[in-house]
């Protein structure tokens, strides 16, 4: 293909004023006199930079053709353009062979994003389809924005580096958190970074210490079936730019500054910011997908291709797979992480389908994947929380075996085994007991701290906690895929009726089960994560794959705060007590095995020291000593459908046990303030059906 754009038909040319520029840093680097542009492409034959006054301009105001002789060093194309300032809108055209059989898909008719662009603007007429076929895409293409990272006053802010032992993660969607009209946020800021900032007092009151934001890298909301939108954001198009639509300030630099304002405000409130990052694929999809960035820059370098190089390897279920262990892609990933830590001050990352990062350019699993060790050993990332979703869509499952010493893992087995036990399934008492204690059978061999395990029951992907106890089956009909999408293995239970009900007994049981799940999550050894709205029983009406709904079915309904105030209070009090734990520097370094040796006093059944490990068992009790607090704690977990009387360990010197939690009791007796817990007068405790009890006593 030949470009139909050239210097001759641009409004004016800056080529006579440009200089050679530098290879590094990659991207657009602002200096006092102008901007240095540098981009990698191994097989391009010509590269042009296009400058625009507005994002929806059909033609550039200036075009600079980067000289392939004087302005190319190795595979880096670079030029310095004087007079350019932050806020300038730009894009690239790459010339080269269009030869899919050889893995090359250059298309100079397409205006491309800078792979290192720090900002993105989206024209009102953005059209994903226009980037698929023939024709000039300038008027409808996303475009990059020159950003000066130094032009911001952080007022002394830095990443918090909060100890993992003092961390409670709240997984949330930036837009969905405040988009509902009943959020109390102003019309202009609902669903934005600023809207989230306005709701920080709610997060503080709840007690969480870290927000884990669903993807905020610029993504393509049109990457979805017709009639719906991509709401979750797992279709990235830029790894450096915050998503423009989440900003209430739609000028080119607005999203960058508004994101930083949000981070700074969260830090002032003592709350860390963890980003859900997608380095496994992009929104460019399969061979029929659009050319927006990497496909047109250097297709065979950035993506894993099949033996038939016109096809993309798909280990993600999204049409393509990033070639993450290629040197240039490794560099881009690490540079992106550094940028978000050093420039945007985020505190950590959760890596979507992280097991893909262990695959080589042929898709085979590597024992020591270079990109993971690059992340692990990078001094700029030391102290940053890095969390792996340790599986992929093509069968890799590495929970308990993910590489590295600093990686934490979403513990999918915690989710599944706790769901099964509390539902009343046979054969899960041993697994449940292990999950309570940091999953030592999974992680004990690593000699790592308990917080390697991210303990969660729900996340964005799957049922909400309310729906987990309200539906036996998924109900994804609104996704227009005949209810075929989404997981079939949910391990859920509707408590007697499918869906919403006014039956008071069923509602009481559901409320109890919700509190059981929250107690187990927040009191187990490990790093707990809860999902936005679970503290007020948010529902998606049985949809366990609501990725394509940007409406009140997925937004947080703030009226639930009054309707389910007892659950909200329950979460508050558990978190408050968990964060009271006296965890000093030495204890933070204790391995999981050391924690267990120091604290576990014994397992019990209804009789002391007689745990029932049989397949038919649905209950277990555990006594724990906390020497640093001169404390004994007794946990009773009854997933049986009848009440059970549990013996309570005798105490020396006439002490008494106190009841902190009993989920069978109505609020406010289901949980009380720790220091006001009433005494238990008996040597046994009747534990209601499907309930959790927590007692404590001073040593």
Residue with tokens 């969480």: 208
Taking a C-beta distance cutoff of 8 angstroms, is the pair 36, 27 a contact?
Answer: no
**Contact between 202 and 187 (Cβ < 8 Å):** no
Give the single-character DSSP code of 298: H
Give the angle subtended at the CA of 619 by the CAs of 613 and 622, to the nearest 5°: 85
| Residues paired with 119 in a beta bridge | 145
Partners of 313 in beta bridges = none
Do residues 485 and 547 lie in contact, with contact meaning Cβ atoms separated by under 8 Å? Answer: no
Give the distance from CA 659 to its chain's centroid: 36
Q: Are the C-beta atoms of residues 285 and 328 closer than 8 Å to each other?
A: no
Catalytic residue status for 376 = no
Which 3 state secondary structure label does DSSP give 466? helix
Q: How far apart are CA 235 and CA 525, in angstroms?
A: 34
Question: Dihedral, CA atoms, 26, 28, 29, 33, nearest 10 degrees?
Answer: 140
220, 223, 352, 467: which one is catalytic? 352
CA distance 315 to 280: 9
Q: Please identify which residue in the block is written with the tokens 């580096």.
A: 161
E strands, 545-611, in order: 600-604
Task: Please pick, among 389, 417, 451, 461, the residue that the annotation labels catalytic.
Answer: 389
Paired tokens of 557: 């309904």
CA dihedral 657, 658, 664, 670 (to 10 degrees): -170
Give pairs for 264-269: CB < 8 Å, separation 24+: 264/154, 264/155, 264/157, 264/345, 265/197, 265/200, 266/197, 266/200, 266/203, 266/211, 267/157, 267/158, 267/159, 267/160, 267/345, 268/157, 269/200, 269/203, 269/204
Integer CA distances (angstroms), 75 to 28, 39, 47, 111, in order: 17, 8, 12, 20
Contact 593, 444 (CB under 8 A): yes
Task: Give me the helix-helix angle, 429-436 and 412-423, nearest 10°.
Answer: 130
Angle subtended at Cα 213 by Cα 469 and Cα 233, rounded to the nearest 5 degrees: 90
Question: 388 pairs with which residues across the strands?
Answer: 351, 409
CA atoms of 368 and 419, how far apart (whole Å): 33
CB burial of residue 608 (10 Å; 0-12, 13-18, 19+): middle
**Which residues, 6 or more positions from 416, have their beta carbon under 8 angstroms from its beta carbon?**
489, 491
220 labelled catalytic: no
Please choose, from the candidates 303, 301, 273, 298, the residue with its C-alpha nearest in 3D space to the C-alpha of residue 286.
303
Instruction: List CB contacts of 211: < 8 A, sequence separation 6 or more.
Output: 169, 170, 171, 172, 196, 203, 266, 271, 272, 273, 274
- Give dist(CA 58, CA 56) in Å, integer: 6
Catalytic (active-site) positions = 352, 389
């Amino acid at each position: 293909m030949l470009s139909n754009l050239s210097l001759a038909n641009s409004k004016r040319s800056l080529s006579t004023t440009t200089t050679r520029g530098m290879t590094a840093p990659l991207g657009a680097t602002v200096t006092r006199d102008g901007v240095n542009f540098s981009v990698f492409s191994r097989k391009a034959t010509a590269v042009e930079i296009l400058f625009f006054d507005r994002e929806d301009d059909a033609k550039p105001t200036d075009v600079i053709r980067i000289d392939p002789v004087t302005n190319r060093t190795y595979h880096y194309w670079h030029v310095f353009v004087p007079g350019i300032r932050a806020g300038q809108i730009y894009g690239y055209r790459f010339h080269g062979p269009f030869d899919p059989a050889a893995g090359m898909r250059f298309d100079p008719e397409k205006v491309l994003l800078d792979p290192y662009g720090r900002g993105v603007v989206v024209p009102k007429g953005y059209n994903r389809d226009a980037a698929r076929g023939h024709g000039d895409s300038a008027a409808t293409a996303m475009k990059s924005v020159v950003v000066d990272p130094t032009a911001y006053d952080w007022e002394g802010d830095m990443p918090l580096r909060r100890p993992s032992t003092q961390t409670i993660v709240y997984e949330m969607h930036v837009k969905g958190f405040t988009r509902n009209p009943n959020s109390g946020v102003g019309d202009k800021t609902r669903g934005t970074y600023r809207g989230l900032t306005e709701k920080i007092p709610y997060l503080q009151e709840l007690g969480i210490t870290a927000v884990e934001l669903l993807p905020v890298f610029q993504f393509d909301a049109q990457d979805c079936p017709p009639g719906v939108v991509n709401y979750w954001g797992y279709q990235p198009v830029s790894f450096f730019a915050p998503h423009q639509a989440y900003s209430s300030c739609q000028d080119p630099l607005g999203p960058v500054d508004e994101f930083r304002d949000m981070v700074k405000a969260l830090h002032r409130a003592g709350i860390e910011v963890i980003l859900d990052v997608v380095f496994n694929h992009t929104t460019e999809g399969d061979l029929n997908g659009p050319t927006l960035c990497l496909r047109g820059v250097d297709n065979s370098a950035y993506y894993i291709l099949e033996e038939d190089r016109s096809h993309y390897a798909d280990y993600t279920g999204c049409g393509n797979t990033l070639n993450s262990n290629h040197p240039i892609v490794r560099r881009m990933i690490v540079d992106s992480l550094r940028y978000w830590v050093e420039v945007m001050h985020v505190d950590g990352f959760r890596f979507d389908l992280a097991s893909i990062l262990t695959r080589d350019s042929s898709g085979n699993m590597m024992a020591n994947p270079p990109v993971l060790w690059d992340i692990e050993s990078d001094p700029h990332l030391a102290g940053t929380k890095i969390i792996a979703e340790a599986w992929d869509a093509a069968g890799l499952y590495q929970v308990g075996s993910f590489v590295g010493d600093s990686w934490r893992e979403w513990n999918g087995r915690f989710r599944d085994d706790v769901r099964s036990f509390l539902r009343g399934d046979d054969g899960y008492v041993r697994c449940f007991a292990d999950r309570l204690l940091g999953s030592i059978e999974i992680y004990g061999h690593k000699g790592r701290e308990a917080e390697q395990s991210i303990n969660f029951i729900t996340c964005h992907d799957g049922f909400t906690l309310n729906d987990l106890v309200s539906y036996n089956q998924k109900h994804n009909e609104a996704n227009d895929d005949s209810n075929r999408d989404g997981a079939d293995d949910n391990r859920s239970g509707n408590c007697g009726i499918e869906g919403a009900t006014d039956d008071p007994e069923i509602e009481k049981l559901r409320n109890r089960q919700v509190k059981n799940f929250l107690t187990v999550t927040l009191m187990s050894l490990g790093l707990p994560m809860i999902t936005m709205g679970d503290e007020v029983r948010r529902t998606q009406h049985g949809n366990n794959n609501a990725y394509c709904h940007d409406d009140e079915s997925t937004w947080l309904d703030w009226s639930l705060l009054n309707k389910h105030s007892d659950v909200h209070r329950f979460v508050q009090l558990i978190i408050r007590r968990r964060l009271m734990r006296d965890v000093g520097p030495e204890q933070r370094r204790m391995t999981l095995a050391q924690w267990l040796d120091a604290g576990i006093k014994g397992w019990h059944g209804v009789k002391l020291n007689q745990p029932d490990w049989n397949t038919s068992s649905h209950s277990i009790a555990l006594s724990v000593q906390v020497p640093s607090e001169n404390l004994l704690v007794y946990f009773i977990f009854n997933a049986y459908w009848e009440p059970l009387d549990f013996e309570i360990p005798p105490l020396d010197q006439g002490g008494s046990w106190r009841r902190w939690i009993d989920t069978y009791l109505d609020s406010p007796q289901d949980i009380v303030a720790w220091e006001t817990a009433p005494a238990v007068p008996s040597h046994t405790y009747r534990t209601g059906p499907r309930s959790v009890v927590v007692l404590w006593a001073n040593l």
